[in-house]
Amino acid sequence: MADTHMLDKIINQTLETVGKSREQIFEISEQSRQEYKMLEQELRDVRIKVATVIEKADRMQNHARFARNRLAEVSTQFQKYTNDEIQRVYEQANEYQVELALLQQEEKQLRERRDNIERRLMSLKGTIERAEQLVGQMSVVFNFLSSDLQQVSEIIEDAREKQAFGLKIIEAQEEERKKLSREIHDGPAQMMANVLLRSELVECIYQDKGMEEALKEIRELRNLVKMSLADVRRIIYDLRPMALDDLGLVPALIKYLKTFEEHTKMPIHFQHFGREQRLPQQLEVALFRLVQEAVQNAYKHAEPSEVKVKIEIKASKVIILIKDDGKGFEQSEKKEGSFGLMGMKERVNMLKGDLKIHSRKKEGTAIFIEVPITE
């Protein structure tokens, strides 16, 4: 047992280290991605400024050329112009030349800034790609450690639990048969026997009290038959909801949860997201049973004020969340004789899915189920 605990400790520490490293690499990737977006915007702004400055410089160059030509003309024929006119022509030519030089300097600086940003973007793009690659590789390592290696320390305990679970299934099947037998005996069977006896009285009532009293008895018999039919339908629905075969998973869950809420007075909030589509029959049955088990567990053990059930159907997978605000429990503490959660885990494993449970005392319980859609 000490070796098992030591192995658990080593694996948990390794998982923690790998997990933190993966998160750090992911943060680097996100920071680089944000900087990349900012630089992309800055590059667009700089390119616009470069184009604007080039356009201004071209116009200023034309003005400067015209001013130089004008200055040359005035210089060769200065006797025709006054000193003020010559000075103005000279000042204007000098002003245009200075402005042109400033624009050319600004253009040079903007071009250098543009080139620096482009080089930085190329570097960041490489960093992002490398970080994403490392995150993917770290995820593979993390998944390997958290699934394969972690099972090493649990294999003996799992074997014992599965053996007990198998025996529990047999006991549960026998108990379910007894329960079904009792329900049929105490419900529909008793009621139909009552209907049979009272139907024999109809003729006597008709002869003794007339048609009106006989019709009253027939109406009462009709109500008994309706009640018996409702019991039979309820028993059949518990065994396998007809809506599941006829309408699909979501309508069957809506009907079941509404009926369960009316019967138990426990508020249940159901939400459905994603596609409206039928799933493979076995998958629909398995997912229905998972939700059924989770809701029943919450009612039996958690004493919640409400339960939330959310299901999202995507193209390649189904995601389900069952959350309650009940008593919760410490996941490290295993309750003797409790196999509900183990049964759910076994069912999800058979579907090649993933089940996660988050719970603490006085903080409620959240069950997250993710199952791939396969034929």
Tens digits of residue pLDDT in 170-195: 455 555 556 666 666 666 667 777 76
**What is the Cα 48 distance to its own chain's centre?**
41
- C-alpha to C-alpha distances, 9 to 23, 136, 209, nearest whole angstrom: 21, 25, 84
Which residue, among 316, 312, 311, has the nearest Cα to 294 in the 3D structure? 311
Q: Which fold has domain 243-375?
A: Heat Shock Protein 90 (3.30.565)
> 69-124: per-residue pLDDT in tens?
877 877 777 777 777 777 887 888 888 888 888 888 888 888 888 889 888 888 88
Q: Which residues of the chain are in CATH 3.30.565.10 domains?
A: 243-375
Which pLDDT score, from 0 to 100, does residue 107 have? 84
In the chain, which residues fall in CATH 1.10.287.950? Answer: 2-154
Residue 356 has pLDDT above 70, yes or no: yes
Architecture of domain 2-154: Orthogonal Bundle (1.10)
